[in-house]
Amino acid sequence: MAEGERTRTREREPGEERTYDKMLAFYRERVERNADGPVVIHKGDREVELSRQGRIRYYLNHTIHKDTPLQQWLVFSHELRTTSGKHKHQGGLVIYVIEGKGYSMVDGERWEWEAGDLMLLPLRPEGVEHQHFNTDTERPSTWIAFINTPISEHLAHEMTQMQDSPEFR
């Protein structure tokens, strides 16, 4: 009878988690979050922040809302009382006007909009300069923006703030 060789393997000592294992955990968490994360994001669960662009409410933002599915989307509403800040970035935004009326200056060209309109900010690697204006003195305009972040990453997205909203202090 031939004698067999027996090999014994030892389990790795518990210690620091390896990068590959961290990646596996990240992928597992993402799959679970996308499958079981919140289906409805309630307006009241998100704060309005007065920023250089104006009054913004972030619904999906992977830098502050780690528990939501669709981490590759940035979705925010903008309550525009007078004038937004002016900035420049690669564009690629989809903006739906919920209420009010006004116009946007996009690379020096004026574009009128009102409730129910859809604005498509051009996608340009060299950037798109834009600013938004509310023309209704009685009430603010509100719109919601959708940005697919993998597109921004692909273009090496950058943003330059050129002028702050008059409300920002």
The dihedral sign for the CA sequence 100, 102, 105, 109: positive
d(CA 117, CA 110) in angstroms, rounded, equals 15
Strands (E), 17-165: 48-51, 54-60, 73-80, 86-91, 94-99, 101-106, 109-114, 118-120, 123-134, 141-148, 159-163
What type of residue sits at position 50? Answer: L
Q: Is residue 165 within 8 Å of 83, Cβ to Cβ?
A: yes
To 10 degrees, the CA torsion angle through 169, 55, 157, 31? Answer: 130
Q: Is residue 84 within 8 Å of 132, Cβ to Cβ?
A: yes
Radius of gyration, CA atoms only, the chain: 23
Q: Per-residue pLDDT for the chain (169 aa), expressed as one digit of tens each?
A: 556 677 766 666 667 889 999 999 988 988 888 888 888 999 999 999 999 999 999 999 988 998 888 888 999 999 999 999 999 998 889 999 999 999 999 999 999 999 999 999 998 888 999 999 999 989 999 999 999 888 777 666 788 898 999 988 7
CA 109 vs CA 2, 23, 33, 66, 136: distances in Å: 87, 45, 41, 37, 20
What is the pTM for the complete model shown?
0.80
What per-residue confidence (pLDDT) applies to 108? 96
Q: Is residue 151 within 8 Å of 72, Cβ to Cβ?
A: no
Which three-class secondary structure state does DSSP give residue 38?
coil
